[in-house]
Amino acid sequence: MQGFRQEPGRQFKETFVNVTRLETLRLLAALAVLTGDKIYSFDIKQAYLIAEWPEEYPIWISGPEHDPTKKGYGRRLLKSLYGNKAAGRMWGKCFENVMKKFGFEVYCKEGSLFVWHDNKGNYCFCCLYVDDGNYICSSKEVKEMFEKFLIDNLPRLPCGTSVVKLMGQCTETLNLKVDQKFEKGKSSIHMSQGKYLRKVIRHDGC
C-alpha cells in the first residue's frame, strides 16, 4: 500500500483519528476512585484491517510479484490497510458504529469517550486510544456483558480467535504505569510516567 500516492478528495477525505487525551484518562481514574470501580483494559489486534473501505473513494492496488491478475485488470481495495492515509479514520468510525449498536453515545467534547447508562443505574464508560481501550463498569454483570458484546461484534482472526484481547485490570496505558488499590472500602489510583521517562533518558544518552 503506497499511501503517499493517494490523492485527497479522490481517494480519501479525512485522516484524523480521535484518541483519548490524558485529561480524559485522569477523569476516568477519578470517577473510578469515587465509585469504587476498577479500570480495565483491552487491545484490538490488527485494528486497521477491520474497517470496510468506502466505494466512494475507490483505490486500485497492484498485487505482489507474480500476481496472476490479467493484464489490464487490477484489484480494488475492499478493506482498509496499514499504510493507507485514512486507515486510522476508517477504524475509528467502524469502532464508533459498533459501540452505538450497544447503546453507547459519543461524548460531544471528546470523540474517543463512549458513555452508556440505563434507567436502572447501570453504566459503562470507555475511552479509546487508536487500538487500546480502557473502561469502567458499574457492576461485574455490566462488565461481562460489554466484553462479550465487543468479542461478538468485532471480527475474528483467521485462526479463529477474536481481535479483542481483554487485558484485565489496567496496570499500564499510554506509557503510564497505573497502580490501583481497593482496600476496606478505600480506593486509590496512582499514575506515573517513570518507566517512560527512564526510556527517554536512556535514548538521549544522559
Residue scoring higher pLDDT (36 or 6): 36
Q: Which domains does the chain have, with CATH numbers?
A: 3-64+72-170 (3.30.70)
- Per-residue pLDDT band for 167 (boundaries 50, 70, 90) equals very high
Map 56-113 to HEC letters. CCCCEECCCCCCCCCCCCCEECCECCCCCCCHHHHHHHHHHHHHHHHCCEECCCCCCE
- Which residues are 135's β-sheet partners? 40, 126
Q: Is 150 within 8 Å of 19 (Cβ atoms)? A: no
Q: Is 107 within 8 Å of 99 (Cβ atoms)? A: no
pLDDT tens profile 125-165: 999 999 999 999 999 999 999 999 999 999 998 888 999 99
- Per-residue pLDDT band for 108 (boundaries 50, 70, 90) equals confident
User: CA–CA distance from 14 to each of 60, 86, 91, 111 (Å)?
Assistant: 19, 6, 12, 15
Max intra-chain CA distance, the chain: 72
Residue scoring higher pLDDT (43 or 182): 43
